[in-house]
Amino acid sequence: MKYQSQQVAKLYFLGALLIFSLQIVFGLAGATLYIAPTSIPVDLLPFSVIRMIHTNALIVWLLMGFFGCTYFLLPEETENELYSPFLAKLQFWVFLIAAVVAVGGYLTGHYDGRSYLEQPMFIKVGIVIVALMFLFNCTMTALRGRKTVITNILLMGLWGIAIFFLFAFYLPANVVIDKMFWWWVVHLWVEGVWELVMAAILAFLLIKLTGIDREIVEKWLYVIIGMALFTGILGTGHHYYWIGTPGYWQWIGSIFGGLEPLPFFLIVLFSFTMVRKGGRDHPNRAALLWSLGCSVMAFLGAGVWGFMHTLSWVNYYTHGTQLTAAHGHLAFYGAYAMINLAMFTYAMPLLLGRPPYSQSLNIWSFWILTSGVIVMTLALTGAGIMQTYLERGLGEEYMDVQQQITAFYWVRLGGGVMVTLGLVLYLFALLVPGRAPATSRLGLSSMS
């Protein structure tokens, strides 16, 4: 590790892993309720609150991870220390406390009804303050130092995240307009600006892990983010089919939504080409596995599972079924959980001043976690296809259909148990010092 201020990233990575664990606990509780609806008394903890904590925790830990990734890579990219490590630490604690207060509020019935944006108003204001602290710190660091394409794209993505969050404050009375702008946060995040963040972090990792020339990476990055924005912005239309917006959105959403897999496909080509051309044999093989796995799983989850229901005449039947949940899980995991886990795997040994031991344990955790999410996705896909057929095709009642597809929910819970096991192994591999075998002979300097 070259710069002292990179150390603040450690705080963010640990916080993210803690909240990831919380997310999984609530996921397991939700999946259990699907099978045994009375196992958790509804007046103690209703399903809606469990779901809310599960999805909010997801967003919080992914953002916390992105903040940490940025604080880790910015000094190396800009070749100078962070503008203010103190502000970065303060920002972490404000964010963590806001998250804890929000969850406490959810548990005691304080939330607003809009999915992902349930935080009470003062928490939303807190989030904006956190974002401003972060953007100020990073922008000042970038302005002072070397300018690279990776930093520019990363900062563009991070500014975009903050700007689109402002639509969370716009609460029109008209429910159609309300839904329209809700997607400006939710869709334009994950299918717009978050993609820039993901591409920038992946590019940084590939340069470090394969030794590939920066110039080659930059050319790819431009094409990828150009394609992501070209398809993703108008792709918002794939959420405007049935909310009361004009009919032309059926065409816009189908065409641009249909093109949205392209940037994800380019990311797969990009990462494998870089590994082929790069050729450096980095001792942290697990980090490379996570990076490549991320590009492939993001393509499957976002590209393939997204394409399945993006055309309006398919979405007419599948809208809001378990197919959506299948896609939501694989896409979020593949693109944004895995890019974070890749960076943690790369950076944690450096931050802790250890060689990257526990490689095989980490690689096991990769396969178990990823397989667990795949099992969950396939189970939900099966449930979604049955649901679409029985409910939308044959016109059976919602609850009657749910009764007939419980077998899929058992498999989903099984996948959830695998995910939990994978996460425990991952935490062990990353945090518990192990005996260092052959890798200990490599000096730390050769790994950064």
Q: Which residues bind ligand HEM (CB under 6 A)?
A: 24, 27-28, 30-31, 34, 51, 54-55, 58, 115, 190-191, 238-239, 257, 260-261, 298, 302-303, 306-307, 309-310, 315, 319-320, 324-325, 327-329, 331-333, 335, 337, 373, 416, 419-420
Can you give the length of the chain in residues? Answer: 448
76 binds, among ligand HEM, Fe ion, none (CB under 5 to 8 A by kind): none
Using the 8-state DSSP alphabet, how is residue 174 labeled? Answer: S
C-beta of 24 vs 131, nearer to ligand HEM: 24
Question: Least distance in Å: CB of 96 to ligand HEM?
Answer: 19
Round to whole Å and give the CA distance between 30 and 302. Answer: 23
Position with the least CB separation from ligand HEM: 306
Does 124 bind Fe ion (CB under 5 A)? Our answer is no
Q: Tokens for 278?
A: 């790069």
3-state secondary structure of 384: helix
Question: Nearer Cβ to Fe ion, position 76 or 195?
Answer: 195
Instruction: Tell the smallest beta-carbon distance from residue 298 to ligand HEM (Å).
Output: 6
Neighbours of 36 (CB within 10 A): 9
Distances 221 to 211, 262, 276, 389 between C-alpha atoms, Å: 16, 13, 17, 41
The binder of 309, among Fe ion, ligand HEM, none, by C-beta within 5 to 8 A per type, is ligand HEM
Cβ-based nearer residue to ligand HEM, 6 or 340: 340
- The reply on whether position 208 binds Fe ion by CB under 5 A is no
* Of 137 and 381, CB closest to ligand HEM: 381
Are 118 and 52 spatial neighbours (Cβ–Cβ below 8 Å)? yes
Q: Which does 133 bind (CB under 5 to 8 A by kind): Fe ion, ligand HEM, none?
A: none
- Closer to ligand HEM at the Cβ: 8 or 99? 99
Confirm or reject binding of residue 10 to Fe ion (CB under 5 A).
no
Between 124 and 329, whose beta carbon lies closer to ligand HEM?
Answer: 329
Which of residues 54, 124, 187, 282 is near Fe ion by CB under 5 A?
Answer: 187
- Tell me how far, at minimum, the Cβ of 335 lies from ligand HEM, in Å: 4
CA distances from 89 to 162, 410, 444 (A): 19, 42, 26
Residue 24 binds: one of ligand HEM, Fe ion, none (C-beta under 5 to 8 A by kind):
ligand HEM
**C-beta closer to Fe ion: residue 187 or 309:** 187
For residue 297, the tally of other CB atoms under 10 A from its CB is 24
Token output for 423: 């996460």
- Asked if 421 and 368 touch (Cβ cutoff 8 Å), the reply is yes
Angle of helix 214-235 relative to helix 248-259, nearest 10 degrees? Answer: 160
Taking CB under 5 A as the criterion, which residues in 382-421 touch Fe ion? none
User: Of 46 and 258, which has the nearer Cβ to Fe ion?
Assistant: 258
Dihedral (C-alpha) 243, 248, 253, 256: value to the nearest 10 degrees?
A: -160
Segment near Fe ion (CB under 5 A); pick from 179-187, 241-249, 318-326, 329-337: 179-187
Non-local (6+) Cβ contacts of 55 within 8 A are: 115, 116
Cβ proximity of 116 and 188 under 8 Å: no
Report in angstroms how near the CB of residue 216 gets to ligand HEM at its nearest: 25
Task: State the nearest-atom distance from the C-beta of 103 to ligand HEM, in Å.
Answer: 16
Pick 90 or 304: Cβ nearer ligand HEM:
304
User: Per the structure block, which two tokens stand in for 405?
Assistant: 């597809």
Q: Cβ atoms within 10 A of the Cβ of 222, count? A: 11
| Cα–Cα distance list, 19 to 96, 109, 272, 281, 386 (Å) | 9, 20, 31, 33, 33
Query: Which residues are at the interface with Fe ion (CB under 5 A)?
Result: 187, 191
